[in-house]
């Protein structure tokens, strides 16, 4: 990205292109925006309230600069994190922390800043290393909501981004989840949302050359959303991508399971709550605390008995392995949480795992 080029209109490119990097710190109209750079997930509500009360036009402009900064100075912040990893002195790295892009996205969603929708899409265009560095797994908890609040009426634009070969799997998953929520929260738009998923599945079926789009995990996620919304009219398209091997049975079950589940009454099982900024932060903190208690070392299989498998037929009538599921609505197994290097630390400090407990003794 060259100096002076519009952030929203910049061409798709990988974040590691050094020519796009600009070490110059942005200037903000509102100095309070700098709080986003020195506060983690436990940022005080008082500070958030002050930022939310800033003049809308200048606030949106400043938050767009924050997102642009996360791209233009990505290598700067990444290298700074690497320096921290090699240092034994935690005090040398107090100050700027790596939460400011998330803060900006949550706030833009809270104020329903449709003017910044393209800036949010620009973030999702970045490669997986960028998204992992800034957001980790938390991206799945907050990003869809910002897209929903700023661009729920821009379904065609989100489909275009999904179909772009430069868009990675994380960006595609976030968009599909956002569209699913449009279907849940705005049932009067069922025809429009159903047609959106029809176009997506048809594109998957016609895009054998695009390995990312035909990835069976992505196809499985799309089918999962369709099952949650109960759109039986899309079964022909679902059948086709199953035939192609572009939908993972490990996500939704066998095609026989899908045929059965898609015709069941709508139960709203996949509908998420739309939250305000304070509740969203609180929810993410609660998730981290819950994950902290899910220690795999606490698992005790001493009470396991082979009789636990009696209700599940491991072979079908012809003696072949059964790869189906009990039922689509069966409570899934949730693997114990294992934080990534850039995820929030499980101790609840609000710092990244690698900056906190990653190298500490387990006791």
- The answer to whether the beta carbons of residues 352 and 342 sit under 8 Å apart is yes
Classify residue 266 by its DSSP letter.
Answer: P
Quick one: what percent of the chain has pLDDT higher than 70? 67
Tokens read off for 292: 């902290």
Which carries the bigger pLDDT value, residue 357 or residue 332? 357
Alpha carbons 25 and 76: distance in angstroms, whole number: 11
CB-count exposure of residue 162 (10 Å: 0-12, 13-18, 19+): buried
- The answer to whether the beta carbons of residues 123 and 154 sit under 8 Å apart is no
Q: What is the pLDDT of residue 110?
A: 97
Q: Would you mind telling me the total number of residues written for the chain in this entry?
A: 363
What is the per-residue DSSP string for 293-343? H--GGG---TT--GGGGTTS-SB-TTS-B----S-TTSPPP-PPP---TTS
**Tokens 């519009």 map to which residue?**
6
- The answer to whether the beta carbons of residues 246 and 214 sit under 8 Å apart is yes
Q: How much is the average pLDDT of 289-313?
A: 49
Report how far apart the first and last C-alpha atoms of the chain are (Å, whole number): 47
Tokens read off for 167: 């868009």
Q: What is the pLDDT of residue 311?
A: 45
CA dihedral of 160, 103, 338, 75, whole degrees rounded to 10 = 80
Which residue, among 175, 125, 137, 163, has the nearest Cα to 20 in the 3D structure? 125
- The answer to whether the beta carbons of residues 270 and 328 sit under 8 Å apart is no
180, pLDDT greater than 60: yes
What's the pTM?
A: 0.76
Which carries the bigger pLDDT value, residue 353 or residue 85? 353
- The answer to whether the beta carbons of residues 222 and 202 sit under 8 Å apart is no
- The answer to whether the beta carbons of residues 106 and 142 sit under 8 Å apart is yes
- Taking residue 265's Cβ as centre, other Cβ atoms within 10 Å add up to 5
Q: How much is the average pLDDT of 46-69?
A: 97
2, pLDDT greater than 80: no
Report H helices in 214-254.
216-229, 235-244, 249-252
Q: What is the pLDDT of residue 81?
A: 74
Average pLDDT of every residue of the chain: 79
Task: Convert the pLDDT of each residue in 78-100 to its tens digit.
Answer: 888 766 544 444 444 444 568 99
Q: How much is the average pLDDT of 232-248?
A: 93
298, pLDDT greater than 50: no
Q: How much is the average pLDDT of 13-35?
A: 76
Q: What is the pLDDT of residue 40?
A: 87
- The answer to whether the beta carbons of residues 349 and 343 sit under 8 Å apart is no
39, pLDDT greater than 50: yes
Task: Convert the pLDDT of each residue in 129-176 to its tens digit.
Answer: 999 999 988 899 999 999 999 999 999 999 999 998 889 999 999 999
Residue 310's φ and ψ, nearest 5 degrees, are -60, -30
Q: What is the pLDDT of residue 94?
A: 44
Residues 6+ away with beta carbon under 8 Å from 316: 322
Alpha carbons 261 and 258: distance in angstroms, whole number: 5
């Amino acid at each position: 990205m060259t100096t002076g080029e519009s952030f929203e209109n910049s061409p798709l490119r990988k974040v590691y292109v050094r020519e796009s990097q600009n070490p110059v710190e942005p200037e903000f109209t509102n100095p309070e925006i700098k709080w986003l750079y020195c506060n983690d997930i436990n940022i005080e509500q008082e500070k958030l309230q002050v930022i939310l009360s800033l003049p809308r036009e200048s606030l949106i402009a400043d938050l767009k600069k924050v997102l642009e900064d996360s791209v233009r100075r990505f290598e700067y912040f990444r290298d700074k994190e690497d320096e921290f990893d090699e240092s034994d002195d935690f005090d040398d790295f107090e100050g700027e922390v790596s939460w400011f892009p998330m803060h900006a996205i949550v706030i833009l969603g809270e104020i329903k800043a449709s003017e910044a929708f393209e800036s949010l899409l620009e973030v999702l265009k970045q490669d997986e290393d960028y998204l992992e560095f800034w957001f980790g797994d938390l991206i799945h908890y907050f990003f869809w909501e910002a897209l929903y609040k700023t661009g729920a009426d821009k379904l065609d634009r989100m489909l275009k981004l999904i179909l772009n070969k430069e868009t990675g799997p994380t960006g595609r998953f976030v968009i599909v989840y956002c569209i699913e929520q449009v279907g849940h929260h705005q049932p009067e738009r069922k025809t429009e949302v159903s047609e959106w998923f029809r176009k997506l599945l048809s594109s998957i079926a016609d895009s054998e050359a695009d390995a990312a789009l035909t990835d069976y995990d992505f196809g499985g996620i799309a089918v999962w959303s369709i099952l949650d919304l109960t759109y039986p009219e899309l079964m022909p398209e679902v059948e086709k991508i199953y035939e192609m091997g572009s939908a993972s049975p490990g996500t939704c079950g066998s095609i026989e399971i899908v045929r059965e589940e898609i015709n069941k009454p709508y139960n709203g099982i996949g509908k998420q709550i739309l939250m305000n900024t304070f509740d969203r932060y609180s929810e993410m903190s609660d998730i981290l605390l819950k994950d902290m208690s899910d220690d795999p070392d606490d698992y005790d299989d001493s009470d396991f008995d082979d009789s636990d498998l009696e209700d599940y037929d491991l072979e079908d009538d012809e003696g072949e392995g059964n790869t189906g599921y009990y039922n689509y609505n069966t409570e899934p197994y949730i693997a114990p949480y294992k934080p990534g290097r850039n995820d929030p630390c499980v101790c609840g400090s609000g710092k990244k795992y690698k900056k906190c407990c990653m190298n500490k003794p387990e006791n």
